[in-house]
Structure 1
Amino acid sequence: MPRFPKKEAEIAALAERMIAGLLANPILYPNPPHPAHQP
C-alpha cells in the first residue's frame, strides 16, 4: 500500500521529484497530464 506524505515540506519534495522524473523521461512521458514548467 502506498504511503503518501502528510507534511507540507514532504509534499513539496514529492512534487519536485515527480517534475524531475517527467522532465528526465520525455520518451516515457511525452504528454504529461500537466505541463511540468509553470511560469
Structure 2
Amino acid sequence: MLAGRATIAGGYSTSNAQAGIAASITVFYTALANTQLWMA
C-alpha cells in the first residue's frame, strides 16, 4: 500500500516537474520574443 502510494506520488511529481519545465520554457521564449519585438 505504502509503496503504491510512493509510486503514484513519484509519477505525479515527475509529470508536475515536466509541466513546470515546459511552462518555464514557454514563458522564457515568449519573453524573448517580446523583447526582440520591442528592440526591433
Which one scores higher on RCO, CA 8 angstroms, separation ≥ 6?
Answer: 1
Q: Which runs of 4+ in 1 moved over 3 A?
A: none
Stretches of structure 1 that go unaligned for 5 or more consecutive residues are 1-5, 28-39
Larger helix fraction of residues: 2
How many residues get paired? Answer: 23
- What is the rounded CA distance, in whole Å, between the counterparts of 1:21 and 1:12 in structure 2? 14
Shift of residue 10 of structure 1?
A: 0.2
Task: State the structure with more CA Rg.
Answer: 2
Matched, 1:13 2:23: yes
Matched, 1:24 2:34: yes
Quote the RMSD (CA, aligned, Å).
2.2
Shift of residue 23 of structure 1?
A: 0.2
Identify the residue that residue 36 of structure 1 maps to in structure 2: none
Stretches of structure 2 that go unaligned for 5 or more consecutive residues are 1-15
Cα displacement string for residues 3-39 of structure 1 (whole angstroms, at most 9, x for unaligned residues)? xxx7000000000000000000012xxxxxxxxxxxx
